[in-house]
Amino acid sequence: MHNKRRLHVWLMPLLLGLVAWTVQTQYAFAQRKEAAPKELEGVGIFEHRDAQIPLELEFTDTKGKGVSLAQLFDGKRPTILTMNYSDCPMLCSLQLNGLVEAIQPMPWNLGEQYQIITVSIDPLETPERALLTKQKYLEMYGRPGGVAGWHFLTTHKEERIKKLADTVGFGYKYLPESRQFAHAAALIICTPEGRVSRYLGGIQYDPQTLRLSLYEAGQGKVGSAMDQVLMFCFHYDPESGRYSLAANRLMQFGGILTVFVIALMLSIVWLREIRKPDRIRPEGTP
């Protein structure tokens, strides 16, 4: 017992010291802000919510035909917009792999309830190269109908790429030394009319979050009654980048459901009562 007390006396100050050191170290890292290298200045995702996509911009599809963004944003389906390039050594592949993994378990079909537009940030990329990339990811997706639902666009006009990127807040920069583009990764969820609705950053995406984001951007034009219920019960948490259960909405939904169940039970009892045959009363009873 005496040894245990001595051990306790020595351990407590040590543990407290470790906790204090950890807190102080984390605070120091949080307070320290190192300037980004010049090569990365202006690179990142800068959210421009509700920005209108410049629909007049024209690009080239994988068949070599000219197409304007106005032809693709037809007011019918929400759109996932990504900005990548086929010769990206790593990040673009990781992002598009994550996108395919997120849309595979979704009950919605690419090309029906939503579409994807991938615009190359490399003005030297050819439609033939973009076609190979498209075929790769459609094969991974493995569902029919995706050919018409996923558009890979290129253009030699760098100013068109820049205008689209600036509009949606996609900061990128070409690095001549490595012949690569420095850029970030994000899915840009757009309304059927081409307005930016939401950003989903990173290279891995939660299928439910993506589905609810598309439903929200679709403004009720896509989805089922169950999707409406999910949107009622969930709200978007910008810190986690996901939709989470909203306690207030859940309580409201529970209250509505309770009232409905009580009303249903009372209706059943009432119907049983009115269907009962009148009893024959004995003579002499009032």
Residue 197 lies in a domain: yes
Q: What is the pLDDT of residue 115?
A: 97
Kindly state the DSSP code that residue 114 receives in the 8-state scheme: B
pLDDT at 202 over 70: yes
Q: Of the candidates 17, 5, 165, 15, which has an alpha carbon nearest to the alpha carbon of residue 85?
A: 165
What is the pLDDT of the chain when averaged over all its residues?
78
Q: pLDDT tens digit string along 169-193?
A: 999 999 998 899 999 999 999 999 9
The residue among 196, 221, 246 that closes a domain is 221
Mean pLDDT of 186-213: 94
Q: Which domain holds residue 184?
A: 44-221
| Dist CA 74 CA 69 (whole Å) | 9
Domain match, 246 and 143 both: no
Q: In one letter, which amino acid is 240?
A: S
Q: What is the pLDDT of residue 220?
A: 56
Residue 209 lies in a domain: yes
Residue 116, domain CATH: 3.40.30.10
Domain match, 89 and 136 both: yes
Q: What is the pLDDT of residue 39?
A: 66
Domain count within the chain: 2
Q: What is the pLDDT of residue 272?
A: 72
Domain match, 98 and 137 both: yes
| Dist CA 44 CA 76 (whole Å) | 30
Mean pLDDT of 122-136: 98
Q: What is the pLDDT of residue 265?
A: 72
Inter-residue contact 241 to 208 (CB < 8 Å): no
